[in-house]
Amino acid sequence: MDTPQPQTLSHRAPVLTLLMVGAALVVAGFPGWSAGLIYDRQAILAGEFWRLFTGHWVHFSTSHMLYDTLALGLAGGMLEARRLPHYGWLCLLAPWVINLALLAFDPRLRYGGGLSGLAVCTLVVLALDGLGDPSGWRWACRLILAGVAGKILFEMATGRLLFATINAGSVVVCPASHLAGALTGLAFYGVVRLSKTARI
């Protein structure tokens, strides 16, 4: 029986992750852009499909943006260091998949924003990718998965964000986006594993 080998890390800059985090900072620096980028259900149904992608980069407070970009930056940077196959496709497709799920299954959500769904997706992929490591990292990955599940359950039960704060009274937490992110990450990693198996 083959012994799992430690994951070889890359020392290249995490370009894709930096682009995603940088885009959030740019949008925050130009608040006037948000109206044309935010997830707006009625506008999307009227044909403004780009909002399914761009809505992730609109945030409702500085705290909201900082927690989202920190989580995405760390998880995405580690995935790039681990040289996860097809990570670029995850960055491209996951934003569409998450918001399409919201469009289909959460008709009460009129407006939405934030990278948290994508951050959860990336964290799930990172944790799943590390479960086979022979080192202590696999135990950290199990804790990450348990933490993600606990966070989603907490938000579903309380209707409150676990970390970030948003002052706008009309803005509420959307656990469905985090659940969609987790399921998207699970599906993506399953496809990656199947593609590896198919080449053996």
Mean pLDDT of 100-108: 96
**Looking at residue 163, what is its pLDDT?**
62
Residue 200: pLDDT over 50: no
Confidence (pLDDT) at 166: 61
Rounded-to-integer distance, Cα 148 and Cα 40, Å? 26
Residue 187 has pLDDT above 80, yes or no: yes
Beta strands 39-40; 111-112: pairing state? antiparallel
Q: What angle do CA 98, 100, 106 make, to 5 degrees?
A: 90
**Residue at 10 is within a domain:** no
Q: What is the CATH number of the domain that holds 125?
A: 1.20.1540.10
Of 7-11, 28-32, 44-48, 140-144, minimum mean pLDDT range: 7-11
Residue 3 maps to a domain: no
Quote the domain boundaries for residue 113.
15-28+36-199
Q: How many domains does the chain have?
A: 1
Is 112 domain-assigned?
A: yes
Least confident range of 84-88, 100-104, 145-149, 169-173 = 169-173
Residues 132-162: tens digit of each pLDDT:
898 899 999 999 999 999 999 999 898 877 6
pLDDT in tens, 155-182: 989 887 766 556 555 566 789 999 999 9
Question: Per-residue confidence at 194, pLDDT binned at 50, 70, 90?
Answer: confident
* 96: in domain: yes
* pLDDT value at residue 197: 72
The full DSSP string for 9-59 is PP-S--HHHHHHHHHHHHHHH-GGGHHHHSEEHHHHHTT-TTHHHHGGG--
Q: Is residue 170 part of a domain?
A: yes
Which residue did the predictor score with more confidence, 158 or 183?
183
* Predicted local confidence at residue 196, as pLDDT: 73
